[in-house]
Structure 1
Amino acid sequence: MKRIGIDVGGTNTDAVLVEDSKVVAAVKAPTTQDVMSGVVDSLQQLLQKAGSQVSGVEAVMIGTTHFVNAVVQRRDLIRVAAIRVSLPASQSLEPMIDWPQDLRETVDPMIFMVEGGHEYDGRIFMPLDEQAVRDAARRIRDAGIRSVGISATFSPLTAEHELRAAEIVREVYPEVAITLSHTLGRIGLLERENVTLLNACLVELGRKTTDAFKAALAGAGIRAPFYLTQNDGTVMLAEVAAQFPVYSFASGPTNSMRGAAFLTRLEDAMVVDVGGTTSDIGCLVHGFPREANNVVEIGGVRTLFRMPDLLSLGLGGGTLINEKPFSVGPRSVGFRLPQEALVFGGTTLTSTDIGVAAGLIDLGDKSRVRHLPRSLVDDALIRMRDMLEEGIDRMKTQAEDVTLIAAGGGAFLIPEKLAGVGRVLHVEHSSVANAVGAAIAQVSGEIDQVFSGLSRDEALSQARKLAEQKAVHGGADAGTLKLVEIEDLPIAYLPGNAMRVRARVVGDIADIGAGAAIQAAAG
């Protein structure tokens, strides 16, 4: 299978052509402020480098930080409405109660709380107040709000009231975009509702970004279906992924981890992905990023949904180095590195300049960093090593030394010797591991649900079937699906042999068929 993988980072946009288990060509281009022109540049460079080898490309996989950056930077977010089905419970804590004030003001929510919801065991807590939902829909329509998030108590277990509320809203306001919490988050109401509303304020950006990527591919002469990479290291058809932009929040680091596993053929290791702004530390388990089981903050908002367990450090290729007083980061020049770093003719001292001065990498004009005092270079290297060692120690779950894979464009900053690390692997193409990870990604489906009235085997089988259905909906070939993770937890205080089951499957992307053969052109 021949694929193109693209990863849009804060500093660089990487693109690779992968055929089966080989990286055929790889390029790195600066990320542009408008993002899309950088994608086009990287594609054009890749096509020139690969030449005729690009013909017959079957799919394009794209990873982007566009959506999480929108939340962090409070831009490109639309006004949303929140409908919570929970009264009389939870009325003291309204939706977005714990959001940062500036983000809440940007989104300017219209909030409605209505009676309804279910208990943990699936029993109705209160009947759904359909008239209240209908009234809310009318007010949302009259206010011109284009996106709504609907959440209900314990909806991941029983989604009946969320689905019915969505039907009512669509009857009143057919054009509105609706995000349902049970499709995204886990059982905790506030964190699940938070990610639902984050998704709701990003859905228009999701559509616009997907359309722009499609146009960028067409502009580069590529006619192929494309996928967006997800937080768990897998992909989803772009048309489906556009409805769930939150699933791409951590796609960059997870792409790097999957790419690192592919390049080293290791399935269990620690990965440090050094980008232009941050270093992301994570663990590979069976070839996929270890998943976070606790609350993850996104732009100051508490969420609990499918996210990798990562630790981000303010250390990257564009990290600022201050001489007096001495400091390393956390600020970075980001995508302006090619203009601002000393070795590129700029006036700002960065960690890349330190790397060139120390002989770690041959980049730019070395003569422009010869004046740096050796003591400054050594102090900066020691501080970087200390930051990495501390981060690695925080992420380790065992006392023994671990194998560490260095990835990312700033991987040259990772020393060969680190406390708690048995060996550090620097492999070919590790600087574009994120794009490699995107190119080789599969499609996943995950279910996390409580089952009752079934035997354990029946519950596990049902959970697997539901996960497989999600994977196929996301673009997986049903014949290639395999179970990668399943766990069950009996709930002793509920009747009917109740148990919570979490299942995850992955599979290859589906063949689009001979009638829709993919064409790719170089140039």
Structure 2
Amino acid sequence: MSYRIGIDVGGTHTDAVLLDKDYRVLAKTKTSTTQDVSTGIYEAMREVIAQSGVPREQITYAMLGTTHCTNAIVERKHLNQIAVIRVGAPATLAIKPLIGVPDDLRAHLGKHVYIISGGHEFDGREITKLDEAQLYRIANEIKDKVDSVAVASVFSPVSKEHELRAAEILREVLGEHVPVSLSYEIGSVGLLERENATILNAAIVNVAKTTATGFINALKAEKVDARVFFGQNDGTLMSIEYAMKYPILTIGCGPTNSIRGASYLSGLANALVVDVGGTTTDIGVLVNSFPRESSLAVEIGGARTNFRMPDLISIGLGGGTIVRIQDDGSFTVGPDSVGYQLPQKGLAFGGDTLTTTDVLIALGKSDLGDAEKVAHLDPDILLKVYDRIVEMAEEAIDKMKTSADPVPVILVGGGSILFPEQLKGASQMIRPENFGVANAIGAAISQISGQIDRVFSLDEMGRDQTLEVAKGIAIEEAIAAGAEPSTVEIVEFEDIPLAYLGNATRIRVKAAGTLASVGTASTREQVSNS
């Protein structure tokens, strides 16, 4: 018998589930997310293993959806010492790297910034030769001063040649142990946003490695020798080795885990998913069982980027959201929250703060806490507050819909008890079994994927062969991320001709497959490899 653990870290709770080989939930738990994140993960893991009674040697997979990398960028903590090398002189000298990045983040990341000659035109022609001599000088200058490097070249999604050569030179001088992030692998067309995404990726390599090592060591302390996977922000998983190379892909994986879990629990492939936690409500869209991807540039820690992210609306509404009622009967709902301190601070639990959960209890819509402690509140005002809570969700649902027609809505997350059995704009409301831990279930049941988003010139191979090459690259990426080769198939494909780039097309392909067999590597090998 083979079992798997799924853990997802939210702003308020860290959820964990243990599933059997048929994805049945054998044990589940919610623990408070701790300030250092890791402690909460270890507590949830120990609790769910103990609760299940499953033999530890039969737990073969462990999946983690984590906020470590997001927190590191937002809090400006534990970031790598990086160098930024742009291949783009003289064409890009007017706008320096890290433009538009907040000052405090630039102070962390902008100590070693260089622009060297090289890069390509939009049609793949070389602007000027790569200045290899300058690259060697830079590499020797930053040796022993940095532990991660970001390289971005002009139009590298069209031609990656200069980035690949730059990486060769850097590894030759700095050694293989210093990771080099290449922009053509991370972002799409748009130099500044792609460069920013690459810089952030380079800055969080150590955070990802520390998180992975800590998780594996915690598993080993529990005598669990499982393969470890990280959640990606497209609703799939990646191996530790892949996560070390692209840690930025863990950003936003929490909501996508919930969306995938909602799809699995409800059996629906196309729907809106409303994920309600203690602090926020995230609303996303299921398209063919995967989260819909955002087509807009995304800000992370104040830096504008263009790498893939799920299309979400987040509103400051959750189970711990603070409600303030004035003497004249007016009120506000959020956006601040007591978060994981709800059991201590909520009125119905003996605290001194009125929250949305207290409103629910006072109106008799929940049997949590002690209703006597909120019995003094004016029911007429509370009904208005509750109507506003429902209205906030309905407004957000309306924004995510692409037509006026009602759509199925799946409610997940512990805070989803806030909402009634029907919401405007919903053709049906589904609150599936185990809705409270849908995020952890989504992490545990997800497939492994690989994705590319690049511009190809059709002059070299012709259209049909180019499309096949792009699909082949995506399949290779999925296998590299940990998928069983025989199960990998194309799950998304988009081909956008780019008239202004001549005979070129932008191709987005995602391939996904089931986890490779357990025998491929143990946790000990994963630690040493990463």
TM-score, normalisation: structure 1: 0.94
1:517 CA displacement:
11
Q: In the aligned structure 2, how far is the partner of 1:421 from the partner of 1:286? A: 19
Among residues 386, 404, 409, which one is paired with 1:404 in the alignment?
409
Change (3 A) 1:203 1:22: same
1:493 CA displacement:
5.1
Change (3 A) 1:54 1:267: farther
Paired-residue identity, %? 47
Q: In the aligned structure 2, how far is the partner of 1:262 from the partner of 1:202? A: 31
For residue 461 of structure 2, what is the aligned residue in structure 1? Answer: 454
1:262-321 Cα deviation digits (max 9, x unpaired)? 000000000011112111111000000001111111122111112110111011122111
For residue 473 of structure 1, what is the aligned residue in structure 2? Answer: 480
Q: Would you say 1:506 and 2:508 are equivalent positions?
A: no
Q: In the aligned structure 2, how far is the partner of 1:344 from the partner of 1:67? A: 33
Q: In the aligned structure 2, how far is the partner of 1:224 from the partner of 1:241? A: 17
Amino acid across the alignment from 2:172 = E
Q: In the aligned structure 1, how far is the partner of 2:376 from the partner of 2:202? A: 52
Q: In the aligned structure 1, how far is the partner of 2:262 from the partner of 2:116? A: 48
Q: In the aligned structure 1, how far is the partner of 2:500 from the partner of 2:277? A: 47
Change (3 A) 1:83 1:311: same
- Gaps (5+ residues) in structure 1? 519-523
For residue 319 of structure 1, what is the aligned residue in structure 2? Answer: 321
User: Are the counterparts in 2 of residues 141 and 173 from structure 1 also a CA contact under 8 Å?
Assistant: yes
For residue 69 of structure 1, what is the aligned residue in structure 2? Answer: 71
User: What secondary structure, in the 3-state scheme, does the structure 2 residue paired with 1:410 have?
Assistant: helix
Q: In terms of mean alpha carbon deviation, does 370-379 or 469-478 score higher?
A: 370-379
Once the two structures are superposed, the pairs formed by residues 70-89 of structure 1 within 5 Å of their partners are 70-89=72-91
Q: Would you say 1:439 and 2:444 are equivalent positions?
A: yes
Change (3 A) 1:516 1:139: closer
Amino acid across the alignment from 2:464 = D
Change (3 A) 1:74 1:473: same
1:492 CA displacement:
4.1
Q: In the aligned structure 1, how far is the partner of 2:61 from the partner of 2:106? A: 38
Q: In the aligned structure 2, how far is the partner of 1:170 from the partner of 1:54? A: 40
Q: In terms of mean alpha carbon deviation, does 116-125 or 266-275 score higher?
A: 116-125
Change (3 A) 1:365 1:216: farther
Q: In terms of mean alpha carbon deviation, does 359-368 or 257-266 score higher?
A: 359-368
Q: In terms of mean alpha carbon deviation, does 103-112 or 245-254 score higher?
A: 103-112
Among residues 478, 482, 485, which one is paired with 2:489 in the alignment?
482
Change (3 A) 1:166 1:357: same
Among residues 412, 419, 424, which one is paired with 1:419 in the alignment?
424
For residue 140 of structure 2, what is the aligned residue in structure 1? Answer: 138
User: What secondary structure, in the 3-state scheme, does the structure 2 residue paired with 1:316 have?
Assistant: coil
Q: In the aligned structure 2, how far is the partner of 1:54 from the partner of 1:410? A: 32
- Gaps (5+ residues) in structure 2? 525-530
Amino acid across the alignment from 1:159 = K
User: What secondary structure, in the 3-state scheme, does the structure 1 residue paired with 2:518 have?
Assistant: coil
Q: In the aligned structure 2, how far is the partner of 1:366 from the partner of 1:56? A: 44
1:394 CA displacement:
1.0
Q: Would you say 1:333 and 2:329 are equivalent positions?
A: no
1:435 CA displacement:
0.3
User: Are the counterparts in 2 of residues 459 and 501 from structure 1 also a CA contact under 8 Å?
Assistant: no
For residue 280 of structure 1, what is the aligned residue in structure 2? Answer: 282
Among residues 235, 238, 260, which one is paired with 2:237 in the alignment?
235
For residue 173 of structure 2, what is the aligned residue in structure 1? Answer: 172
For residue 5 of structure 2, what is the aligned residue in structure 1? Answer: 4
For residue 521 of structure 1, what is the aligned residue in structure 2? Answer: none
For residue 220 of structure 1, what is the aligned residue in structure 2? Answer: 222
Amino acid across the alignment from 1:458 = Q
User: What secondary structure, in the 3-state scheme, does the structure 2 residue paired with 1:242 have?
Assistant: helix
Q: In terms of mean alpha carbon deviation, does 428-437 or 54-63 score higher?
A: 54-63
Amino acid across the alignment from 2:160 = A
Amino acid across the alignment from 2:371 = K
User: Are the counterparts in 1 of residues 16 and 44 from structure 2 also a CA contact under 8 Å?
Assistant: yes
User: Are the counterparts in 1 of residues 57 and 223 from structure 2 also a CA contact under 8 Å?
Assistant: no
Amino acid across the alignment from 2:368 = L
Change (3 A) 1:336 1:185: same
Q: In terms of mean alpha carbon deviation, does 240-249 or 427-436 score higher?
A: 240-249
1:197-222 Cα deviation digits (max 9, x unpaired)? 11111111111111111122222332
User: What secondary structure, in the 3-state scheme, does the structure 2 residue paired with 1:223 have?
Assistant: coil
1:447-496 Cα deviation digits (max 9, x unpaired)? 2221422232212211111001101110000000111111222344556x
Tell me how many residue pairs correspond in the alignment.
Answer: 516
User: What secondary structure, in the 3-state scheme, does the structure 2 residue paired with 1:16 have?
Assistant: strand
User: Are the counterparts in 2 of residues 226 and 237 from structure 1 also a CA contact under 8 Å?
Assistant: yes
Amino acid across the alignment from 1:470 = E
User: Are the counterparts in 1 of residues 16 and 29 from structure 2 also a CA contact under 8 Å?
Assistant: yes
1:399-429 Cα deviation digits (max 9, x unpaired)? 1001100011101112222221122111110
Amino acid across the alignment from 2:261 = G
Q: In the aligned structure 2, how far is the partner of 1:220 from the partner of 1:59? A: 14
Q: In terms of mean alpha carbon deviation, does 260-269 or 202-211 score higher?
A: 202-211
User: Are the counterparts in 2 of residues 207 and 243 from structure 1 also a CA contact under 8 Å?
Assistant: no
For residue 373 of structure 1, what is the aligned residue in structure 2? Answer: 378
Amino acid across the alignment from 2:14 = T
Q: In the aligned structure 2, how far is the partner of 1:106 from the partner of 1:326? A: 41
TM-score, normalisation: structure 2: 0.93
For residue 428 of structure 1, what is the aligned residue in structure 2? Answer: 433
Q: In the aligned structure 2, how far is the partner of 1:3 from the partner of 1:332? A: 33
1:199-255 Cα deviation digits (max 9, x unpaired)? 111111111111111122222332101100000000001232133221011100000
Q: In the aligned structure 2, how far is the partner of 1:347 from the partner of 1:517? A: 46
1:158 CA displacement:
1.5
Change (3 A) 1:217 1:364: farther
Change (3 A) 1:99 1:271: same
Q: In the aligned structure 2, how far is the partner of 1:482 from the partner of 1:349? A: 50
Change (3 A) 1:179 1:515: closer
1:21 CA displacement:
3.8
Once the two structures are superposed, the pairs formed by residues 172-321 of structure 1 within 5 Å of their partners are 172-174=173-175, 175-321=177-323
Amino acid across the alignment from 2:38 = M
Change (3 A) 1:110 1:506: same
User: What secondary structure, in the 3-state scheme, does the structure 2 residue paired with 1:195 have?
Assistant: helix
